[in-house]
Structure 1
């Protein structure tokens, strides 16, 4: 039922009011006494939030409703309002007909595997009996969560020379970024600033293709920076002052390099680029790998000595601030970095560039894990050491390749990157050879 980002799918099919009711009941049955519930602007969000609240209160938990808010606002609110858990009703960057629920701990981190599994078990088995009619939980409303988030951002970030910034909210819940940047002294132009769960201005996921209007606007004005969020603002992507949309690995390298003090550790998933390793090592730190998924990055980022964790998808975590991917915090920190250092295009130009190859093979959904296991067996015969924390990652002196099963689709994905074009080709051929051999036996 749960993926790494909670429950997500088509409303009325995969995600229903009945499911939301059951998850609310399961949280209360699991011992959660107080729950924060918020949502993104999707048209189905209100009724799903109502269902979560009803289920939780039916089984004795109190609920704090914060209305439409960014997912990182919801995650932070669990601690602010002395709650035990939070529920963000959101499908993040998915299309408007989808919705979902993501669960948060009192530490502001997404539920890990064990807690997700237990909630799923309660949903499937049934939550038992509700509390007595005079013991049902209460529901209160708070309207200050976004303001508290905005204040937290301005307390955490200082912008020495205010910039001109264009923020593409994408009709989502990320308006807190606009307010925070203005409080920090920036001149801000907003695109898609009106929350609208149909996402009429652009698709919710911020990519180079969907952010062409943002890129053109930045390039055609004197703006220093462009920021783009997804529907619930847990992701941030960026456009430089020339209107170029930055790749996720470029942003990851910039954030990681800026976060590293001498000897510090940063976390990146197994598929992150070599450029991240090079930048962090140049600054005196080291990169540690996690499984793909912001919850796994957050788990590693919660360890002592880790200053930052991020994913090229646009999820950025500074553990001293929050263990949730906080798109508005990333936006403010990026603006501060540009103001303090030099134009974003120049910073990116200073990064090393390495060729990368990606491919995917459609397979029987029941076979993808067996195929990756077969790849692992063959890789172990060829290499002294492989990383199997999320698929099969093989690292050499001049590059790496990764073979992993998609968590959401019937695909086996392959990525290879070398320090030269020839080496990338060799690593790609090796990975494909391993997959071909595995397909014959899996």
Structure 2
């Protein structure tokens, strides 16, 4: 089955049978359920819902179905077209809308798409709210508008500029220092919406740039997850020594990875660490990341006198915990930076502007900046689920195996050792089990990760 309903929204492959994939009938049902939930929640009553999408080939089809459905239930639709996830989130707030739908499958391959659902603050629905949407969809407990009450449709492409302006106006974004530094960067925007908005951001920051895969046509030139194994093209360009740094985003531009001037990965885990170090040096406070993220954020936070807290995986879990502990910055180790001064959502534009500000102030090379942080090695592995995989039984087995260690089970099972950790959990976005492990050497990280992977393999037989 490739239709996944989770805290991250409704996600599936395009085509196939209803109830098993993301197809027009299921798009109508879940869009209607979401609009019904928003209407009943009574948190806002503007009658407007924002729709934005990434550049996926299926995006135009899905957007037309979504927009027509929202109009059919009586909502006015503001379609902002091809836009990043953080742009759509900010638009909900800027436009005073009741909610928003982002049409993107984020880092998933080109044949996937998804509906990410926002509240009137432009933030993702909580788990309980998402479950309510699913219950409405399951019962088909909804009603469409009569002819005189149908919604209206408008298109507005002005929010990219408004998003950029909001980034430039952040207190810790030092535009003049960035301009003075005269950076020259190489960007891989994976044939999606980063190729539309990032040139304008870099122009405003006075940064010289060269784009790879810059045409927003949805034909992803490589696997869109911004991991080292997928980035041979831009790493090769960087190794020629022509650029100060490389910038990589995923298709909806909420994840961000950097490449050093010598062509080596900065490490997507260290995107948040580096930005947090800069923010904490100016505004000390607390931080949050998810359980699968590097310990380096904890180390950097404590160096600046703050407190680090871990949350379950999933952006809404991180933002909820950030609000609980009044964090000044947070995010996820996959390259997601969440900076509340802007908004409670992962935002690569914010991450780029803060990183360049830090680099301009320090006056160092990207590789030198990376070398200034605690050095950990993280292994990221995945195991495809089979029809017979009993994830709950696997988690029980792992907890029993490591019952004498520190265990956290708010999201799968994480085992913390004094010098390393390993985290096993079922993905919210793909039919896989993720096994992440971190240690002071890659060999140790691999070893503990493979030990847990073998447990899964043995129980799948």
Q: TM-score, normalised by structure 2?
A: 0.86
CA-CA distance at 1:340 after TM superposition: 1.5
1:343-365 C-alpha deviation (Å, 9 max, x unpaired): 11001112232355565666655
Residue 303 of structure 2 corresponds to residue 285 of structure 1: no
1:244 pairs with one of 245, 256, 264: 264
With over 3 angstroms needed to count, the CA separation of the structure-2 counterparts of 1:357 and 1:173, relative to structure 1, is closer
Please tell me whether residue 15 in structure 1 is matched to residue 35 in structure 2: no
- Specify every segment of 5 or more residues in structure 2 that has no aligned partner in the other structure, as ranges: 40-46
Alignment of 1:345-364 (within 5 A): 345-356=367-378
Residue 275 of structure 2: aligned partner: 255
Pairwise CA distance, 1:105: 1.8
- Secondary structure, aligned partner of 1:19: helix
Match of 2:97 among 56, 60, 83: 83
- Alignment partner of 1:376 out of 389, 399, 403: 399
Q: Deviations over 1:313-341 (max 9, x none)?
A: 22211122111211122122222222111
What count of residue pairs does the alignment treat as equivalent?
Answer: 437
CA distance in 1, matches of 2:241, 2:37: 53
Q: Which residue of 1 aligns with 2:160?
A: 146
CA contact (8 A) 1:18 1:51 kept: no
Query: What secondary structure does 1:2 align onto?
Result: strand
Structure 2 vs 1, CA of residues 188 and 48 (structure 1 numbering), >3 Å: closer, same or farther? Answer: same
CA distance in 2, matches of 1:130, 1:432: 48
Greater shift, 259-268 or 236-245, is seen at 259-268
1:37 matches 2:62: no
Which stretch of structure 1 is more off in the superposition, 278-287 or 73-82? 278-287
Aligned-residue offset at 1:233: 1.1
Measure the CA separation in 1 of the matches of 2:149 and 2:11. 32
- Map residues 31-430 of structure 1 onto 2, 5 A cutoff: 31-32=38-39, 33-156=47-170, 157-159=173-175, 160=177, 161-174=181-194, 175-199=196-220, 201-260=221-280, 264-341=285-362, 342-356=364-378, 365=387, 366-377=389-400, 379-380=402-403, 382-383=404-405, 385-407=406-428, 412-419=433-440
SS of 2:125's partner is coil
Change (3 A) 1:436 1:328: closer
Of stretches 126-135 and 224-233 in structure 1, the one that deviates more from structure 2 is 126-135
Give the whole-Å Cα distance in 1 for the aligned partners of 2:449 and 2:381. 9
Superposition deviation, residue 95 in structure 1: 1.9
Instruction: Assess, with a 3 A threshold, how the Cα gap between structure 1 residues 217 and 55 changes in structure 2: closer, same or farther.
Output: same
Indicate the residue corresponding to 1:3 in structure 2: 6
Whether the 8 Å CA contact 1:177–1:332 is kept in 2: the answer is no
- For 1:437 and 1:206, how far apart are their aligned partners in 2? 27
Shift of 1:205: 2.5
C-alpha separation between the residues in 2 aligned to 1:276 and 1:400?
14
RMSD: 2.8
1:271-300 deviation per Cα after TM superposition (whole angstroms, max 9, x unaligned): 222223222222222321011222322222
Q: Secondary structure at the match of 2:411?
A: coil
